[in-house]
Amino acid sequence: MTGLNRRHLLTGTAAIGAAAALAPLWPTRATAAVPAAGAQAPGFYRYKVGSFECTSINDGVATFPMPDAFVTNVSKTEALAAAQAAYMPDGMVRVPFNPQLINTGSKLVLIDAGNGAAAFEPSKGAVGRTLQNLAAAGVDPKTIDAVVISHLHPDHTNGIRAADGSLAFPNAEIMVPAKDWEFWMSDANAAKAESNPMLKGYFANVRKVYAGIESKVTRYDWGKEVAPGITAVAAPGHTPGHTAFAVASGASKVLLQSDVTNIPEFFLRNPDWHVVFDIDPDMAQATRHKFYDMAAAEKATVVGFHFSFPSIGHVEKDGAGYRLVPVTWTPVL
Amino acid sequence: MTGLNRRHLLTGTAAIGAAAALAPLWPTRATAAVPAAGAQAPGFYRYKVGSFECTSINDGVATFPMPDAFVTNVSKTEALAAAQAAYMPDGMVRVPFNPQLINTGSKLVLIDAGNGAAAFEPSKGAVGRTLQNLAAAGVDPKTIDAVVISHLHPDHTNGIRAADGSLAFPNAEIMVPAKDWEFWMSDANAAKAESNPMLKGYFANVRKVYAGIESKVTRYDWGKEVAPGITAVAAPGHTPGHTAFAVASGASKVLLQSDVTNIPEFFLRNPDWHVVFDIDPDMAQATRHKFYDMAAAEKATVVGFHFSFPSIGHVEKDGAGYRLVPVTWTPVL
């Protein structure tokens, strides 16, 4: 155990000094230094659900200074402590985004579309990567049959537009929750939101993103399939029409939770914390408990839009809250 | 909350039945069904340590029936319960393997080489993927300057040979821990191991893998650098020369723990459990506590050969044991 002390483990300085005084252990090689790659691996990951082939697509990770009221019902100090406990960069909060692609064998369905090219100025380049990661996965966006939006927040819906404003998935039916469409397209609701800059922006965003394509949009209802084997599950509160999905094939099922929680480090561990984006935080909290109590009891596989890529795990009860157990990365399907 | 009940969440049968009776929500599209990709994403992941660019390389995941004494000091029933609690397939244990590639800017160093092409018959195709994943990461094996082996077990060392028996990294210096070389190359030790089929196989394997290349092998000592910025840290017990590594550049450091634990679901949560592969299990247990107490106190980033890919996280105290908090997947460096 000669080397196992803090000096060697975490600074290595003594050892480095000692080695420098000796002949180097590494001889000079003929090979030239290899330049750094400078780029991350592509962000896609496949998993099977019965005969369905699913692909988790990373739209990226936003890292931004902790807003004053990111969690509306605890202090900023408490939120910062939770971020620090989750090893986020000092003073920052980090939010991943992960749409899911489902190939049912007859239909290619994208659940949520990510931030799109223009969003999240502070994290430019780190989000809006859905098209790039679909390409890395060998998926032509023209082959996608349906884009099913879980709710009409920008990070889920803006990716239906490419950088030039054209439709990113030109042959896809665009499906939105009927209750969310009704809520966000209501001029009366928009007028009420005038005093809240965030909400005002969201109302404007929905109108901008869907301008001119309203007739292409199909509105779906809870309790029905949006595609064969993919059932819309009511999960309201985050938004009035916020929807989770049960994906079932043969004896296998997974739950796409969408935004039942935002980041699990905050809202799975503390299910009674309210994220600033919730339209009805008390209802979102009730949905959260009901959803996770059920998922934990059933040992269901849960996919979270805001979980760390590949964003798949199991949820377990942990005291008054829950914990996420990520799946083991599997190299073969 | 109309849809949020077990029937919809986890079977979806009622909803499926209802939908079938209605006109389908998805119109028939002109696009043809897209065939399944049938392959997983490549298993590599980059992370920076100061100016060093590191790449976690997934050699694969072995899944095999729980051996009678995989954990030598608890019952098979207890081991099976731990596997089940970690959502491993029924009756099976699952072990990932992850070599690390480090580009220091002047040297390209591979820490451990994986199982090689021929190993682990029950998981054929699911392990021995290091060369394939290096290729996916754009790394030419001829450019690797050094392969540093943490200890001389087959899953760490056999990958120095390609499928045809040639050297997989033809221009690399091969560096092994002096104490492990001494232990495994001792004919006296090999003779003592004759009665233990597993150990007997390991002694034979080392001789086979290094046959004819003994003179190419450099033996390294603890407390010294094996390459600039990469210090060998004594972590004995698992094998007599078992080595961890401190990788340091600028103000940044990570700890490559090698096999301080085998799978964290068993031996991080239960640091006093002994894996069957330990040569000196009591010393391995002492090393484990010392290593993790220090890593937890320092909030060090720990990379584990047998952690789930990308195999990087933080270790925290958790009752009498420890827990692993995997890092958030980051899409940009």
Q: State residue B120's pLDDT score.
A: 54
Task: Note the pLDDT of residue B116.
Answer: 94
Give just the sign of the alpha carbon dihedral B20, B23, B24, B25. negative
Task: Give the residue-averaged pLDDT of B70-80.
Answer: 98
Phi, psi of A195 (to 5 degrees): -85, -10
Is beta strand A301-304 parallel, antiparallel or unpaired with respect to A146-148? unpaired
pLDDT tens per residue across span B139-165: 999 999 999 999 999 999 999 999 999
Give the helix/strand (H/E) hosting B321.
strand B321-326
Beta-carbon contacts of residue B328 (< 8 Å; ≥ 6 apart) = A61, A87, A88, A94, A96, A308
Question: Among A8, A36, A310, whose Cβ lies nearest the Cβ of B103?
Answer: A36
When mean pLDDT is compared across B2-6, B46-50, B240-244, B263-267, the lowest value belongs to B2-6
Whether B19 shows a pLDDT value over 60: the answer reads no
Nearest chain A residue to B30 by CA distance is A171
> How many A/B residue pairs have CB atoms within 8 Å?
319
d(CA B322, CA B269): 5
What integer pLDDT is reported at residue B20 of this predicted model?
A: 36
Supply the pLDDT for residue B166: 95
Residues of B in contact with A218 (CB under 8 A): 25
- B73 to chain A nearest CA, in Å? 23
Amino acid identity of residue A293, one-letter, is D
Q: Which residue in chain A has the smallest CA separation from B176?
A: A25
pLDDT tens digits, A22-66: 444 444 444 558 999 999 999 999 999 999 999 999 999 999 999
Q: How far apart are CA A139 and CA A130, in angstroms?
A: 11
Q: What is the pLDDT of residue A117?
A: 83
d(CA A110, CA A55) in angstroms, rounded, equals 9
Least confident stretch, B14-23, B227-236, B244-253 = B14-23
Residue of B2, B6, B26, B174 to mutate, testing the A interface (most A Cβ within 10 Å of its Cβ): B26
pLDDT, mean over chain B: 91
For residue A13, name the pLDDT band (cuts at 50, 70, 90).
Answer: very low
DSSP B272: T
Per-state percent for chain A, helix, strand, coil, to nearest 5: 30, 25, 45
Asked whether the beta carbons of B280 and B131 are under 8 A apart, the reply is no
What's the length of chain B? 333
Q: What is the mean pLDDT of residues A196-216?
A: 95
CB contact under 8 A, B55 and A37: yes
Domains and CATH numbers, chain B: 44-326 (3.60.15.10)
Query: Would you call A228 an interface residue with chain B, using a CB distance cutoff of 8 Å?
Result: yes
How many CB atoms are closer than 10 A to CB B6? Answer: 10
Q: Name every chain A residue with its beta carbon within 8 A of the beta carbon of B329.
A: 43, 58, 61, 96, 308-310
How does pLDDT run across B164-188, given as a tens digit for each residue? 999 999 999 999 999 999 999 999 9
Q: Is B25 on the interface with A (CB under 8 A)?
A: yes
List the structure tokens of A234. 């009511």
Tokens linked to B165: 């028996």
Which residues does chain A have within 8 Å of residue B61's beta carbon, measured at their own beta carbons? 328-331
Task: Give the list of residues 6+ apart from residue A306 with CB closer than 8 angstroms, or none.
Answer: A95, A96, A97, A98, A259, A261, A262, A263, A264
Dihedral sign (CA A296, A300, A305, A308): positive
pLDDT attached to residue B16:
31
A25 at B interface, C-beta within 8 A: yes
Average pLDDT over residues B240-253: 98
What ipTM, to 2 d.p.?
A: 0.90
Q: What is the mean pLDDT of residues B203-230?
A: 96
- Is residue A214 pLDDT above 50, yes or no? yes
Query: Residue B155: what residue type?
Result: D
pLDDT in tens, B298-321: 999 999 999 999 999 999 999 999
- Both tokens of B27, joined, read 């119109």
Task: Give yes or no for residue A79 having a pLDDT over 90.
Answer: yes
Q: Is the pLDDT of residue A293 over 80?
A: yes
> Which secondary-structure segment (H or E) carries A77?
helix A76-85
Scan residues 64-123 of A and list those with Cβ closer than 8 Å to B.
86-88, 94, 96, 103, 105-108
Whole-number pLDDT of residue A120: 54
Phi, psi (degrees; rounded to nearest 5) at B218: -100, 135
What is the reported pLDDT for A107?
Answer: 97
Question: Which runs of consecutive H residues, i.e. helices, occur in A216-323?
Answer: 264-267, 281-298
Q: A227-261, pLDDT tens digit by residue?
A: 999 999 999 999 999 999 999 999 999 999 999 99
Rg (CA), chain A: 22
Amino acid occupying residue B33: A
Contact between residue A282 and residue A237 where contact means Cβ atoms under 8 Å apart: yes
The secondary element (H helix, E strand) that includes residue A201 is helix A197-210
Residue-level pLDDT at A118: 66
Confidence of residue B26 (pLDDT cuts 50, 70, 90): very low
Question: What residues of chain B lie within 8 A of the CB of A309, using their CB?
Answer: 329, 331
The chain-wide mean pLDDT, for chain A, equals 91
Handedness of CA A77, A83, A85, A88 (dihedral sign): negative
Start-end of H helices in chain B: 6, 13-20, 76-85, 130-136, 154-157, 178-184, 187-192, 197-210, 264-267, 281-298
Structure tokens at B179: 């104490």
Query: B108-111 and B100-103: which strand pairing?
Result: antiparallel
Taking an 8 Å cut-off on Cβ atoms, the answer to whether B103 and A233 are in contact is no
> B332 and A40: CB-CB below 8 Å?
yes
User: What does the alpha-carbon distance between residue A267 and residue A155 come to, in Å, rounded to a whole number?
Assistant: 18
Of A22, A41, A327, the CB nearest to B46: A41
Return the DSSP state at B328: P
Write the Ramachandran bin of A264: left for phi over 0, alpha for psi from -120 to 50, otherwise beta: alpha
Query: For strand A225-227 and strand A217-220, is the pairing parallel, antiparallel, or unpaired?
Result: unpaired
Burial A57-76 (b: 16+ CB within 10 A, else e): bbbbbbbeebeeebbeebee
pTM of the shown model: 0.91
**Model confidence band, residue A188 (pLDDT cutoffs 50, 70, 90):** very high
Query: Distance between CA atoms of A304 and A312, rounded to whole angstroms?
Result: 7
Share of chain B above pLDDT 90, in %: 86
Residues of A in contact with B331 (CB under 8 A): 40, 43, 58, 60-61, 126, 129, 309
* Confidence category of residue B30, pLDDT binned at 50, 70, 90: very low
Residues A6, B294: Cα–Cα separation, whole Å: 7
Residue pair B139/B55 in contact (Cβ under 8 Å)? The answer is yes
The predicted structure's pLDDT at residue A123: 58
| Chain B contact present for A236, CB below 8 A | yes
A122: confidence class by pLDDT, cuts 50, 70, 90: low
User: Binning pLDDT at 50, 70 and 90, where does residue A215 land?
Assistant: confident
The predicted pLDDT at position A33 comes to 84
Residue B9: DSSP 8-state: I
- Which residues, 6+ apart, have CB-to-CB distance to A175 below 8 Å? A146, A147, A148, A149, A217, A218, A219, A220, A226, B25
And the tokens for B54? 């590191």
Contact of A180 with A151, CB cutoff 8 Å: yes
